[in-house]
């Protein structure tokens, strides 16, 4: 009886060790994989901007109650609820629906808008080219450009608040860290925001 119990304990120990070992292999195997977006993105050059008409009405910008000590003109991006808030007063903000970075590409911090551009060209950063070597090295501004109709450049980072050629991705985690709005929405935000405006990205 005693020998049987010992053999059983040894067997369970071996199985547990194998399970941990296989788990470690799986973790190592997944380490270099690019996190999947929550929806497929439109390919560069594809113009899906007409899809903006089918977005839910709550995704249209509108003023909301938002208590804040930040000065008017401050941009607050909440990556968890996927909304951008432009502070209007101590109790009011204009709310815009956004698409955010997919898992592993979300970030937080405080910066300022350093540049504004209409129908910006797109030059994917080298880090993105390494992950997605099939991307074009340059694309002129236009309706099929992933940067959309307007862009607000965030500090010295590679990130931007910009339009999109894929309105169906709003409310999803799909980008490499930038924040996207449909073209009509980014055009409205663009007119309300000045170079030098603070950008606070909240990520938990």
Place of tokens 């450049």: 153
Is 32:166 a contact under the CB 8 Å cutoff?
no
| Residue of 133, 132, 125, 129 whose CA lies nearest to 156 | 125
DSSP conformation letters of 18-72: HHHHHHHHHHHHHTTSPPPPSSPPPPTT---GGGGGGS-GGGS-EEEE----SPT
- The whole-angstrom separation of Cα 104 and Cα 41 is 17
Asked if residue 32 has pLDDT above 70, the reply is: no
Beta carbons within 10 angstroms of residue 17's beta carbon: 10
Q: What is the pLDDT of residues 38-67, one digit of tens each?
A: 667 777 878 889 889 989 999 999 999 999
Catalytic annotation present for 6: no
Looking up residue 112, the CATH number of its domain turns out to be 2.40.440.10
In a domain, 9, yes or no: no
Structure tokens at 178: 């930038």
Q: What pLDDT shows up at residue 130? A: 86
Does residue 85 lie within any of the structural domains?
no
pLDDT tens figures, 107-157: 999 999 999 999 999 888 888 888 888 888 888 999 899 999 999 999 999
Listed in sequence order, the residues at least 6 apart from 99 whose beta carbon sits closer than 8 Å to its beta carbon are 82, 164, 169, 170, 171, 172, 173, 174, 175, 179, 180, 181
Give the whole-angstrom CA distance, residue 11 versus residue 72.
Answer: 66
- Residue 89 included in any domain: no
Of 6, 61, 162, 172, the catalytic one is 162
Report the relative pairing of strands 75-78 and 198-202 from DSSP bridges: parallel
Residue 25 falls inside a structural domain: no
Range of the domain at 179: 49-58+100-198
Q: Examine residue 76 and state whether it is found in any structural domain, yes or no.
A: no
For residue 96, the model assigns a pLDDT of 98
Of 22, 62, 178, 203, which one is the catalytic site residue?
Answer: 178
> Is 92 inside any structural domain?
no
pLDDT of residue 38: 67
Catalytic residue at 162?
yes
Residue 92 burial (10 A CB sphere; 0-12, 13-18, 19+) = middle
- Whether residue 37 is contained in a domain is answered as no
Q: Using one digit for the tens of pLDDT, what is the confidence trace for 4-17?
A: 444 443 333 333 33
pTM: 0.78
- Structure letter (DSSP) for residue 102: P
* 194 inside domain: yes
pLDDT over 90 for what percent of the chain?
59
Query: Do the bridges between strand 83-87 and strand 75-78 make them parallel or antiparallel, or are there none, so unpaired?
Result: antiparallel
The structural domain count of the chain equals: 1
């Amino acid at each position: 009886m005693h020998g049987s119990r010992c053999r059983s304990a040894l067997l369970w120990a071996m199985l547990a060790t194998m399970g941990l070992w296989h788990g470690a292999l799986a973790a190592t195997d997944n380490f270099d994989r690019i996190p999947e977006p929550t929806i497929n993105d439109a390919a560069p050059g594809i113009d899906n901007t007409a899809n903006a008409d089918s977005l839910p009405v709550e995704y249209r910008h509108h003023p909301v109650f938002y208590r804040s000590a930040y000065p008017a003109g401050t941009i607050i991006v909440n990556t968890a609820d996927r909304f951008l808030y432009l502070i209007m007063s101590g109790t009011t903000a204009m709310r815009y629906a956004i698409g955010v970075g997919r898992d592993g590409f979300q970030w937080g911090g405080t910066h300022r808008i350093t540049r504004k551009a209409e129908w910006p060209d797109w030059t994917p950063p080298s880090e993105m080219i390494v992950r997605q070597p099939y991307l074009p090295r340059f694309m002129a501004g236009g309706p099929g450009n992933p940067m959309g109709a307007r862009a607000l450049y965030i500090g010295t980072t590679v990130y931007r608040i910009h339009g999109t050629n894929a309105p169906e991705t709003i409310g999803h985690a799909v980008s490499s860290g930038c924040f996207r709005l449909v073209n009509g929405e980014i055009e409205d935000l663009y007119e309300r925001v000045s170079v030098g405006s603070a950008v606070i990205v909240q990520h938990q």
